[in-house]
């Protein structure tokens, strides 16, 4: 089934990214925009832009019925959800299935299988993928018993979602019940699901994830791993591939485990399996699966030459998985910095406003994914990320040098950004050496606050 017109249920740089692939494929695009995004770059680039509601995400980008009605009303064959917003809402995939609109992503059942973190843990165990010691808790007494078995420190995590919301560290078991109450309340507010579970805390861990594509019939390929260990409050800031200083034998096991997990689900489309790598033990554990395209997908595209958006569309359109594992070649290294409209000097407070001037880098091995041009508005209602700058080189050192040079060439005026802070990260000797853990950024800020 050929897809001729796609409704994009998203905004910002990912909307522009999807439009560019569709243009190359000769596919028309209808972009959903809120009233705040009527004049965005994406609205001007799409074949057609349709306003679906006010600026509030709950009344526009998060309205399942409105999005599907817009797709049907404007004659779209398919919906691409991008990332965030409705991308991992089984309700959208289900309604698409009911109304005969192609959902460019996994099935509703697959989204439900990985969206519930406890069920995902069970699927991982069934696929013989290692998980962090821990488990569900229903009562304070169950929590106490499991916590004593795991030992401190431990993490309390939300069953219904990720991104650090509902996640709390317990250093002393005397604080367990009070911290659980806070985590449960936060999870309930963020995901509508107050359930939490416990896991052992790994002090020196790295966040490593594997990019996958599946045909929905049991065939799955991987496109290598990404290291996303540079995080602030569980939010990624820098991503790269391949993961530096990861033992080759461990990398092979990790890639195989991710493929095994996705095959068990008969996964369809693009997805990412995330792992926590315990540096001291040289062991890895399943964290979760993201059933969508990831923010950091460009680093994989840079080393593989594969357009992941185009592959998503091909799979959804019935062409199946066009790549075989032996055909996927990963060349060199790529690193990505997220540029956010936020002020590091004011505890990273968001900085909405008008961008009076934007100047992005160009050059060999450089890519910029953004929706920001001169005069662009950064509304206060959405995520603060305004761009991703990606550098590719024959090895990590050359990619890092190109990225440093690129940040030096970037100019964004009118709003505060984390551009200088990103330069500081890249210049740090520990980052330059490679293989840092998820505590790196906190240590950097302890030495010298932003």
Active site residues: 292
- Whether residue 357 contacts residue 415, with contact meaning beta carbons closer than 8 Å, is answered with no
CA gap 302, 335 in Å, rounded: 9
- Whether residue 84 contacts residue 57, with contact meaning beta carbons closer than 8 Å, is answered with no
- Whether residue 436 contacts residue 230, with contact meaning beta carbons closer than 8 Å, is answered with yes
Give the full edge-to-edge strand order of the sheet including 134-136: 134-136, 196-200, 154-158, 168-170
CA gap 1, 329 in Å, rounded: 28
- Whether residue 305 contacts residue 299, with contact meaning beta carbons closer than 8 Å, is answered with no
CA gap 310, 297 in Å, rounded: 13
Length of the chain: 450
CA distances from 304 to 79, 128, 194, 322, 333 (A): 26, 28, 40, 14, 10
CA-based Rg of the chain, rounded to a whole angstrom?
21
- Whether residue 438 contacts residue 207, with contact meaning beta carbons closer than 8 Å, is answered with yes
- Whether residue 333 contacts residue 365, with contact meaning beta carbons closer than 8 Å, is answered with no
Q: Helix crossing, 117-126 with 248-265: angle to 10°?
A: 110
């Amino acid at each position: 089934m050929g897809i001729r017109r796609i409704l994009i249920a998203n905004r910002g740089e990912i909307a522009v990214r999807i439009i560019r692939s569709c243009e190359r494929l000769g596919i028309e695009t209808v972009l959903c925009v809120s009233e705040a995004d009527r004049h965005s770059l994406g609205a001007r680039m799409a074949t057609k832009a349709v306003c679906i509601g006010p600026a509030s995400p709950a009344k526009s980008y998060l309205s399942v019925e409105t999005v599907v009605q817009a797709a049907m009303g404007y004659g779209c064959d398919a919906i691409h959800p991008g990332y965030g917003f409705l991308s991992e809402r089984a309700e959208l995939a289900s309604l698409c299935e009911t109304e005969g609109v192609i959902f460019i992503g996994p099935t509703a059942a697959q989204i439900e299988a990985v969206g519930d973190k406890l069920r995902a843990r069970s699927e991982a165990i069934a696929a013989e993928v290692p998980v962090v010691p821990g488990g569900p808790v229903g009562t304070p007494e169950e929590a106490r018993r499991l916590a004593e078995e795991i030992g401190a420190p431990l993490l309390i995590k939300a069953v219904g979602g990720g991104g650090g919301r509902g996640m709390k560290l317990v250093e002393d078991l005397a604080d367990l019940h009070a911290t659980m109450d806070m985590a449960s309340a936060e999870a309930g507010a963020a995901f509508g699901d107050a359930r939490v579970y416990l896991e052992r805390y790994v002090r020196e861990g790295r966040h490593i994830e594997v990019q996958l594509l599946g045909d929905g019939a049991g065939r799955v390929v991987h496109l290598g791993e990404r290291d996303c260990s540079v995080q602030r409050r569980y939010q990624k800031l820098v991503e790269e591939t391949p993961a530096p200083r990861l033992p080759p034998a461990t990398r092979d096991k990790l890639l195989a485990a991710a493929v095994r997990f996705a095959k068990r689900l008969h996964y369809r489309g693009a997805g990412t399996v995330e792992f926590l790598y315990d540096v001291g033990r040289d062991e890895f554990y399943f964290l979760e699966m993201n059933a969508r395209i990831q923010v950091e997908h460009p680093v994989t595209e840079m080393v593989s030459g594969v357009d992941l958006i185009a592959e998503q569309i091909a799979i959804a359109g019935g062409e199946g998985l066009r790549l075989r594992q032996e055909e996927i070649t990963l060349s060199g290294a790529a690193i990505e910095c997220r540029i956010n409209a936020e002020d590091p000097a004011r505890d990273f407070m968001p900085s909405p406003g008008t961008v009076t001037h934007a100047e992005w880098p160009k050059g060999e091995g450089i890519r910029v994914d953004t929706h920001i041009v001169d005069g662009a508005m950064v509304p206060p209602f959405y995520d603060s990320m305004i761009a991703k700058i990606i550098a590719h080189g024959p090895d990590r050192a050359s990619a890092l040098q190109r990225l440093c040079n690129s940040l030096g060439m970037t100019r964004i005026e009118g709003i505060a950004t984390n551009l200088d802070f990103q330069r500081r990260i890249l210049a740090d000797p520990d980052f330059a050496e490679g293989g840092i853990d998820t505590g790196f950024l906190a240590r950097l800020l302890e030495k010298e606050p932003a």
